[in-house]
């Protein structure tokens, strides 16, 4: 009897077992399987497990709709305090937020957790293109913008359209005078470039690198990064090196619900910091076509707000509707 009472007292002193923020974690990919959000979740899934930053395997679930809008609204309005749920976002998410495409919610309505990698815009032409650098392209645009056709896997207002519009603007040509053909995806755009149906492709650096590796008949005029990229494109100059003030980072990261506690949020922050400090993480990131870019904490929140504001101004300058 005494032994039973001692055990009872011991169990009561410890109280009920409470699940922590890293128990049974879930990553929401705000699109169908196979895209960039899925890639982002699966990078975290592998990196956090390899670094032993989480105990339970991370579950990846899918919530497509509105290029991230459905997931954003669900987390803010219906699941704001889920301590074990993170949601993948990209630079495109910030662009859509800036254009008011996420409804009534803004960049201040979630907790921005981490950025774990980035891609960058790229200006791509055929190997036999007469444009050898951005100055050649700018000269052609100024001479007759109707004779230069841009193509990409995105409609007006998308990231790829923005890259083309900014390139034209830096060359001194209005986006309204720019000829642009939208394709269903990057593969179609690259095929159209190789077939001579468009003259310039405004895509992503990693996409261009993988196409070149596969033998595509293309050449990169410039990367839209703040400095030259490592790997296959290390010899390609940035737009800024060529005198054109154009940058387009495509970040990949995660956010959490607005009512997640500081303690739980900090536990996730430390888990990501631990994973990103490991040498294995660099390899995992590179295997997924991403370049080094890591950020958490207050610095990340400032970054998100700054870029969203820049995108908001760009959208207004380009006359895109729906901008908040």
List own/partner pairs for 313-321 with CB under 8 A and 24 or more apart: 314/98, 314/162, 314/166, 315/95, 315/98, 315/99, 315/157, 318/157, 318/162, 318/165, 318/175, 320/99, 320/156, 320/157
Please tell me the distance from the alpha carbon of residue 191 to that of residue 197, in angstroms, as a whole number.
Answer: 9
Q: How many CB atoms lie within 10 A of CB 273?
A: 15
Instruction: Find the helix or strand (DSSP H, E) in which 119 lies.
Output: strand 111-126
Q: What percent of the chain has pLDDT over 70?
A: 93
Domain boundaries, the chain: 21-118+249-317, 120-242
Give me the CATH topology for the region 21-118+249-317. D-Maltodextrin-Binding Protein; domain 2 (3.40.190)
What is 30-89 written as a DSSP string? SSSTTSHHHHHHHHHHHHHHHTT--SSPPEEEE--SGGGHHHHHHHHHT-TT-TTEEEEE
pLDDT for residue 285? 96
pLDDT for residue 260? 97
Q: How many CB atoms lie within 10 A of CB 257?
A: 23
Residue, of 20 and 49, whose pLDDT is higher: 49
Res. 324: pLDDT tops 90: no
Burial 22-42, CB ≥16 within 10 A → b, else e: beebebbbbbeeebbbbbbbb
Tens digits of per-residue pLDDT, 131-175?
A: 999 999 999 999 999 999 999 988 899 999 999 999 999 999 999
Please tell me the distance from the alpha carbon of residue 134 to that of residue 163, in angstroms, as a whole number.
Answer: 13
Q: What is the mean pLDDT of residues 64-84?
A: 95
Q: What percent of the chain has pLDDT over 90?
A: 85
Q: Is 67 left (phi over 0), alpha (psi -120 to 50) or beta?
A: left
Tens digits of per-residue pLDDT, 1-36?
A: 444 444 444 434 444 434 578 999 999 999 999 889
Q: What is the mean pLDDT of residues 201-216?
A: 93
Fold matches, 21-118+249-317 and 120-242: yes
pLDDT for residue 105? 94
pLDDT for residue 321? 63
Q: What is the mean pLDDT of residues 236-241?
A: 98
Q: Residue 8 contacts by C-beta under 8 Å, 6 or more apart in sequence?
A: none
The CATH classification number of 120-242 equals: 3.40.190.10
pLDDT averaged over every residue in the chain = 91
What residues form DSSP beta bridges with 86?
27
Q: What is the mean pLDDT of residues 221-241?
A: 96
pLDDT for residue 67? 81
Q: What is the mean pLDDT of residues 247-259?
A: 97
Please tell me the distance from the alpha carbon of residue 303 to that of residue 316, in angstroms, as a whole number.
Answer: 20
Chain centre distance of CA 324: 21
pLDDT for residue 103? 92
pLDDT for residue 187? 84
Res. 247: pLDDT tops 80: yes
Res. 184: pLDDT tops 90: no
Res. 80: pLDDT tops 80: yes
Q: Is 231 left (phi over 0), alpha (psi -120 to 50) or beta?
A: left
């Amino acid at each position: 009897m005494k032994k039973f009472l001692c055990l009872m007292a011991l169990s009561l002193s410890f109280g009920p077992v409470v699940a922590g923020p890293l128990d049974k974690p879930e990553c929401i990919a705000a699109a169908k399987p196979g895209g960039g959000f899925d890639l982002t979740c699966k990078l975290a899934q592998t990196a956090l497990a390899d670094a032993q930053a989480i105990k339970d395997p991370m579950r990846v679930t899918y919530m497509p709709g509105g290029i991230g809008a459905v997931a954003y609204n669900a987390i803010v309005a219906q699941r704001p305090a889920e301590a074990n749920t993170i949601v993948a976002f990209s630079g495109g998410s910030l662009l859509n937020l800036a254009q008011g495409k996420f409804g009534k919610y803004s960049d201040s309505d979630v907790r921005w957790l981490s950025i774990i990698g980035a891609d960058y815009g790229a200006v791509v032409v055929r190997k036999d293109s007469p444009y050898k650098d951005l100055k050649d392209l700018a000269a052609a645009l100024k001479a007759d913008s109707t004779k230069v056709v841009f193509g990409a896997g995105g409609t007006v207002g998308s990231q790829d359209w923005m890259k083309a519009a900014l390139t034209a603007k830096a060359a001194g040509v209005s986006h309204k005078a720019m000829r642009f053909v939208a394709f269903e995806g990057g593969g179609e755009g690259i095929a159209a470039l190789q077939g001579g149906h468009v003259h310039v492709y405004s895509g992503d650096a990693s996409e261009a690198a993988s196409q070149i590796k596969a033998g595509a008949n293309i050449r990169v005029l410039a990367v839209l990064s703040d400095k030259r990229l490592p790997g296959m494109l290390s010899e390609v100059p940035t737009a800024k090196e060529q005198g054109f003030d154009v940058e387009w980072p495509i970040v990949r990261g995660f956010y959490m619900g607005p009512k997640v506690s500081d303690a739980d949020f900090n536990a996730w922050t430390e888990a990501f910091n631990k994973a990103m400090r490991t040498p294995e993480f660099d390899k995992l990131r590179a295997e997924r076509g991403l370049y080094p870019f890591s950020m958490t904490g207050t610095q990340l929140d400032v970054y998100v707000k700054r870029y969203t504001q820049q995108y908001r101004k760009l959208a207004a300058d380009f006359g895109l509707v729906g901008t908040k």
